[in-house]
């Protein structure tokens, strides 16, 4: 629900209205346009009666929001959101590339890949310490030791770190050690985890569940945003379809759909999206051409010996070439760094 406020509403009146809504357990969002002042209401608005609200002299009009997500939607936040973290920015016309191995395997491995991806122009280091493996017999990640190694690599290269959390038991560790907290596809609908991560105040990257619709992804984002502290980055990483030629079907159309529906930055992961290293570069280019704000790419120094996802990991040399190509495509759409020619 959106309340359009009277032009002459005073700050005191608006604050009183806000307090009234908070007392009903609702979340309010200030939506200020050039000539309009509006207040978005999220939460259980079933008990809020529009006619009763209109009796208030502060409220001019009540608009019902039909979308099932609110805080992630453009109705509540018309302008694009850009998120700055550790000297890097996601959204706002830049191209943020998060690159690194599927899993942290050793200090030597993560340091060497971190240096490689930084030299190639990546702005974040990715790497899994807690791995959501389908088989309980597969390598499960280095856990807390992995987080320490990521931190060391971050300190040595200056790259902020993005890595996946799987359990509430590690909230404090992630709060301390990590720059962007990743919610993996398998946990996209782990609602208690989403809420708790949203209370930390760190940027959260949410990957689309393999069987999740776009609206479900945006509702997951609302779970995090409800905490009022943590900004969200959305990630398309492929969905399950009948097609078996690729590991998942990368839904490139999700990029313009998400950009239309949501103000949040959208990145694409062509590594998990395809499952094949040869397909990573063409799909990265397609994603950038479709208007995404960034990419997540798995890179490994020797993919044939990787402990996880070697088949979809590109070598540092290929990553370097990919970066050159995606930057060219991005420049075609957005102009040079800092200029935005996109329509």
Query: Which residues, at least 6 apart from 167, have a Cβ–Cβ distance to it below 8 Å?
Result: 130, 193
The smaller minimum CB distance to ligand PEP, of residues 118 and 207, is found at 207
The smaller minimum CB distance to ligand PEP, of residues 184 and 198, is found at 184
Cβ count near 291 (within 10 Å): 17
In the complex, least distance from residue 100 CB atom to ligand PEP, rounded to whole angstroms: 10
Report the alpha-carbon distance of residue 285 to residue 329 in Å, rounded. Answer: 7
The smaller minimum CB distance to ligand PEP, of residues 74 and 186, is found at 186
Report the alpha-carbon distance of residue 264 to residue 115 in Å, rounded. Answer: 29
Report the alpha-carbon distance of residue 326 to residue 113 in Å, rounded. Answer: 20
Q: Residue from 185, 200, 221, 295 that binds ligand PEP (CB under 6 A)?
A: 185
| H or E segment and range at residue 257 | helix 254-261
The count of residues interacting with Mn ion (CB under 5 A) is 2
Whether the CB-CB separation of 252 and 290 falls below 8 Å is answered with yes
Q: Residue from 91, 93, 128, 265 that binds ligand PEP (CB under 6 A)?
A: 128
Pick what 118 binds: Mn ion, ligand PEP, none; C-beta below 5 to 8 Å, kind-dependent.
Answer: none
Q: Which region among 108-116, 179-187, 284-292, 330-338 touches ligand PEP (by CB under 6 A)?
A: 179-187
Contacts of Mn ion in 89-128 (CB under 5 A): 102
Q: Roughly how many angstroms between the first and final C-alpha of the chain, as a whole number?
A: 29
Report the alpha-carbon distance of residue 330 to residue 336 in Å, rounded. Answer: 9
Report the alpha-carbon distance of residue 309 to residue 137 in Å, rounded. Answer: 15
In the complex, least distance from residue 203 CB atom to ligand PEP, rounded to whole angstroms: 16
Q: Of 264, 271, 341, nearest to 310 (Cα)?
A: 271
In the complex, least distance from residue 308 CB atom to Mn ion, rounded to whole angstroms: 6
By Cβ distance, which residue is nearest to ligand PEP? Answer: 184
Contacts of ligand PEP in 240-299 (CB under 6 A): 272
The count of residues interacting with ligand PEP (CB under 6 A) is 10
In the complex, least distance from residue 251 CB atom to Mn ion, rounded to whole angstroms: 18
Strand partners, 204: 181, 232
Q: Tokens for 27?
A: 């979340």
In the complex, least distance from residue 125 CB atom to ligand PEP, rounded to whole angstroms: 13
Q: Which region among 28-36, 180-188, 252-260, 307-315 touches Mn ion (by CB under 5 A)?
A: 307-315
Q: Does 102 sit near ligand PEP (CB under 6 A)?
A: yes
Report the alpha-carbon distance of residue 272 to residue 250 in Å, rounded. Answer: 8
Query: Which residues, at least 6 apart from 241, have a Cβ–Cβ distance to it below 8 Å?
Result: 248, 249
> Judging by beta carbons within 10 Å of its beta carbon (0-12, 13-18, 19+), is residue 41 exposed, middle or buried?
buried
In the complex, least distance from residue 241 CB atom to Mn ion, rounded to whole angstroms: 19
Q: Residue from 68, 78, 132, 201 that binds ligand PEP (CB under 6 A)?
A: 132
Q: Residue from 218, 309, 318, 326 that binds Mn ion (CB under 5 A)?
A: 309
In the complex, least distance from residue 167 CB atom to ligand PEP, rounded to whole angstroms: 15
Where on the chain is the footprint of ligand PEP (CB under 6 A)? Answer: 102, 128, 132, 164, 184-186, 207, 237, 272
Where on the chain is the footprint of Mn ion (CB under 5 A)? Answer: 102, 309
């Amino acid at each position: 629900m959106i309340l359009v406020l009277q032009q002459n509403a005073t700050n005191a009146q608006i604050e009183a209205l806000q307090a009234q809504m908070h007392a009903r357990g609702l979340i309010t969002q200030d939506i200020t346009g050039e000539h309009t002042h509006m207040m978005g209401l999220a939460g259980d608005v079933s008990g809020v009666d529009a006619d009763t609200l209109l009796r208030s002299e502060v409220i001019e009009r009540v608009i019902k929001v039909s979308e099932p997500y609110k805080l992630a939607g453009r109705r509540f936040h018309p302008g694009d959101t850009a998120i700055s973290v550790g000297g890097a920015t996601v959204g706002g016309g830049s191209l943020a590339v998060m690159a690194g191995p599927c899993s942290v395997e050793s200090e030597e491995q993560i340091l060497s890949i971190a240096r490689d991806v930084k030299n190639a122009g990546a702005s974040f280091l990715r790497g899994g310490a807690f791995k959501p493996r389908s088989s309980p017999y597969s390598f499960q990640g280095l856990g807390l030791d992995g987080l320490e190694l990521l931190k060391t690599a971050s300190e040595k290269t200056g790259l902020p770190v993005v890595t996946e959390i799987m359990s509430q038991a590690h909230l404090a560790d992630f709060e301390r050690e990590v720059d962007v907290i990743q919610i993996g596809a398998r946990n996209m609908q782990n609602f208690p985890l989403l809420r708790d991560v949203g209370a930390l105040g760190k940027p959260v990257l949410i990957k689309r569940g393999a069987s999740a619709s776009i609206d479900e992804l945006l509702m997951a984002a609302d779970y995090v945003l409800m905490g009022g502290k943590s900004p969200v980055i959305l990630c398309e990483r492929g969905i399950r379809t009948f097609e078996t030629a690729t590991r998942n079907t990368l839904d490139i159309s999700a990029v313009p759909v998400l950009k239309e529906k949501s103000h949040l930055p959208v990145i694409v992961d062509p590594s998990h999206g395809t499952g094949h290293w040869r397909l990573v570069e063409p799909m990265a280019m397609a994603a950038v051409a479709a208007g995404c704000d960034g990419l997540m790419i798995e890179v490994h120094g020797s993919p044939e010996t990787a402990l996880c996802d070697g088949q979809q990991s590109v070598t540092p040399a290929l990553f370097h070439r990919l970066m050159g190509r995606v930057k060219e495509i991005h420049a075609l759409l957005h102009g040079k760094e800092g200029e935005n020619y996109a329509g």
